Amino acid sequence: MTHVLSIEGAGKVFPQGRGGSVTALAQTSLDVRENEFLSIVGPSGCGKSTLLRLMAGLERPSAGSINFRGQAVTRPSGRIGLVFQDYSLLPWRSILHNIELGLEFQNLAARQRRQRAVEHLDLVGLAQFKDAYPHQLSGGMRQRAAIARALAVEPDVLLMDEPFGALDAHTRLLMQRELLALWEKRRKTVVFVTHSIDEAVYLSDRVVVMEKDPGRVIEVLDVPLPRPRTRKDPDFGRLTESILELLKY
């Protein structure tokens, strides 16, 4: 089994107030496998975003290390993508130009940029909206555009921080299905943060369960359910139950 990302005893402590500090993430070890769909669940404030930001290189660990294919992650790069909850598109750019953004950073020629962007717009079903601006789109469409933008630079790993957290329940279910279809088409390593246990079980190969005070990983569970999955599957319910129990609900 090959590992794309290895988190080796990584932890994060933030300074707070006068000389105080908060442990956002206690020392954690975790491996992210090639092409797997890994979810991270846990209550608000348990360090899910911190863990993801460490993997993305947006935050440096206070202890331990993060390795991407054997190399320490010290800063963000186009290799490890990150999709935020909402409002991460540049509001002054049209959807098409938002998707071209990362390709501009790669200094791709204008024609290839356009071609790749259009291809990814098609992939997420936003072809008709290429000239629209973010404020003209619904929350679900904005998140599709954000996903297309992240995929367009062809990262090795796609990190997602509660990407559907701001959507209504109906749109959320649709987006889950679309994301799975994308993942099956593109076969990419995905690390998906959510506070919905149902969402985690529905989507993932493995689920990382976290607890807070201090933020730490308490369990990593395999989800051996066959795909395509249905929530009517009794095993689906049993797995959800066991995660709820781990979180002491």
Ligand X SMILES: Nc1ncnc2c1ncn2[C@@H]1O[C@H](COP(=O)(O)OP(=O)(O)O)[C@@H](O)[C@H]1O
Q: Is 239 in the site for another protein (CB under 8 A)?
A: no
**Residue in the structure block whose two tokens are 């555009």:** 145
- For the CA atoms of the chain, what is the radius of gyration? 18
| Nearest CB to another protein, comparing residues 20 and 91 | 91
Q: Which does 140 bind (CB under 5 to 8 A by kind): another protein, Mg ion, ligand X, none?
A: none
Q: Is 153 in the site for another protein (CB under 8 A)?
A: yes
Q: Interface with ligand X by CB under 6 A: which residues?
A: 14, 16, 22, 24, 42, 44-50, 215
Q: Which does 144 bind (CB under 5 to 8 A by kind): ligand X, Mg ion, another protein, none?
A: none
Contact between residue 195 and residue 43 where contact means Cβ atoms under 8 Å apart: yes
**Residue in the structure block whose two tokens are 């991270």:** 40
For 97-150, the three-class secondary structure string (H helix, E strand, C coil) is HHHHHHHHHCCCCHHHHHHHHHHHHHHCCCHHHCCCCHHHCCHHHHHHHHHHHH
Residue 133 Cβ vs ligand X, minimum distance, rounded to whole Å: 29
Report the candidate in 32, 24, 23, 29 with the shortest Cα–Cα distance to residue 5. 32
Residue 70 Cβ vs another protein, minimum distance, rounded to whole Å: 20
Integer distance in angstroms from the first to the last C-alpha of the chain?
Answer: 34
**Residue in the structure block whose two tokens are 């998140």:** 143
Binding to another protein by CB under 8 A, coded x per residue (else -) over 4-43, reads ----------------------------------------
Distance (Å, whole) CA 178 – CA 25: 31
Q: Which of residues 213-232 bind another protein (CB under 8 A)?
A: none
Distance (Å, whole) CA 31 – CA 22: 25
Q: Is 133 in the site for another protein (CB under 8 A)?
A: yes
Binding to another protein by CB under 8 A, coded x per residue (else -) over 64-103, reads -----------xxxxxxxx-x--xx-xxxx-------xx-
Distance (Å, whole) CA 242 – CA 247: 9
Residue 153 Cβ vs another protein, minimum distance, rounded to whole Å: 6
Binding site for another protein (CB under 8 A): 56-58, 75-82, 84, 87-88, 90-93, 101-102, 104-106, 133-136, 146, 149-150, 153, 159
